[in-house]
Amino acid sequence: MRVTIAGAGNVGRSIATELTENGHQVLLIEKDPHAFKTDSVPGAEWLLADACELSSLEEAGLESCDVSIAATGDDKANLVHALLAKTEFSVPRTVGRVNHPRNEWMFDDEWGVDVAVSTPRLMSALVEEAVAVGDLVRLLTFRQSNTDLVEMTLPADSPCIGRRVGDLEWPADAVLVAVIRDGRAMAPEREGALEGGDELLFVTAQEDESALARMLAPKLGDID
Taking the domain 132-222, which CATH number applies? 3.30.70.1450
pTM above 0.75, yes or no: no
CB 8 within 8 A of CB 30: yes
Taking the domain 2-117, which CATH number applies? 3.40.50.720
Specify the amino acid at residue 191. E
Question: Taking the domains of the chain in order of start, what are their residue ranges?
Answer: 2-117, 132-222
Q: Report pLDDT digits (tens) over 7-62.
A: 999 899 999 999 999 899 999 999 999 888 899 999 999 999 999 999 999 999 99
Q: What is the DSSP string of 153-168?
A: EPPTT-TTTT-BGGG-
